[in-house]
Amino acid sequence: MDRHLEVFMKVVEKQNFSKAGEELHMTQPAVSQYIKALEEEVGTQLLERSNRYVYMNLAGEIVYRHAKEISALYTKMKTSLDDLTKQAKGPIFIGASYTFGEYILPRVIAKLRNQYPQIIPNVRIHNTEQIIELVAAHEIDIGIIEGSFHNDSLYTEVISEDEMVIVASKEHPFIVDPTKVRSITDLRDEIWILRERGSGTRQAAEKLFNLYNMNPKHIMEFGNIQLIKESVEEGLGISLLSKWAIEKNQLDGYIGTIPVLELPFKRTFSIVTHTLYQTKTLRTFTEVLMETVENSDNISSGSNVIR
């Protein structure tokens, strides 16, 4: 990778010429020369300087973003060349949306580490929209998202289905007496606790509402599933969640499902990569992932829902 871009990224991340030099084993004047040469090459100033720190201007932000992509592609190139002669090993950068990342991915990683201990997984958990952005920017090798999408520059494949159910506190009237409710439209006046926009779980809820022409009168947005579950347990409202997410809560008797006629509602889990070509390490992870979700012991009879 171009040394000028490498030095620039380090200065941005350390916000200091001297600290960047220490990490790169360079003197402060040498770092300054590299930055000056890069600014001359691109024809504009990239960094603003204060008494203690340096920080990017708008042009610097553009260069930094592309430099990160170049760095990721360079690393991927080296890994691909290594794949020609070496076994699957080294780091793999995985991104997953919250439901898959918190409730399914851990057992995939455990199986991967057991079978291929030389592969080192690095995991980032974000909502579906952010995972797609990270794949597009080459910051992760593979993303696992809720739902599916179309993008000409990215490859996506559905790997499984997931059942969504409406959950409520065990003391909720519709849990105590399920005969009081038949249809999802009977829940219009309930307080719905949903994930933020951009999450796969929120997209699933909105799709369900649109499908049955149901507009909840009260919606609260919470940023993570655990907070939603705890709020539901306390009787604050109801929610639409994956069966994966509430498995333990149901077993413990803290949460129940409201049995409306329209449920269970199904959505998909998909993988997203930048191209069809995969390194040996990425191919190995994908194979373990597929094996896990397709394992007959983990899938309910007659469906592709992971249990």
Task: Check residue 153 and give its pLDDT.
Answer: 81
- HSE-CB for 303 with a 13 A CA cutoff: 12
Task: Check residue 240 and give its pLDDT.
Answer: 94
Task: Check residue 151 and give its pLDDT.
Answer: 78
Coil, helix or strand at residue 146: strand
Whole-number CA gyration radius for the chain: 24
Amino acid identity, residue 289? Answer: L
Yes or no: say if 265 and 167 are a contact pair by the CB < 8 Å rule. no
DSSP 23-88: HHT--HHHHHHHHHHHHHHHTS--EEE-SS-EEE-HHHHHHHHHHHHHHHHHHHHHHHHHHTTS-S
Task: Check residue 306 and give its pLDDT.
Answer: 36
Q: How far apart are alpha carbons 169 and 235 in whole angstroms?
A: 5
Task: Check residue 23 and give its pLDDT.
Answer: 85
Q: How far apart are alpha carbons 219 and 216 in whole angstroms?
A: 7
Determine which helix (DSSP H) or strand (DSSP E) holds 241, and give its type and residue range: strand 239-242
Yes or no: say if 255 and 168 are a contact pair by the CB < 8 Å rule. yes
* Domains (range + CATH), the chain: 3-81 (1.10.10.10), 88-160+268-294 (3.40.190.10), 163-266 (3.40.190.10)
Task: Check residue 300 and give its pLDDT.
Answer: 44
Task: Check residue 296 and give its pLDDT.
Answer: 37
- Express each pLDDT in 159-215 by its tens digit: 988 889 999 999 999 999 988 888 999 999 999 999 998 888 898 899 999 999 999
Task: Check residue 277 and give its pLDDT.
Answer: 65
Task: Check residue 257 and give its pLDDT.
Answer: 92
Please identify every stretch of the chain with a pLDDT value under 50, giving residue numbers as ranges. Answer: 296-307
Residue showing tokens 């065990």: 170
How are beta strands 155-169 and 191-194 bridged, if at all? unpaired
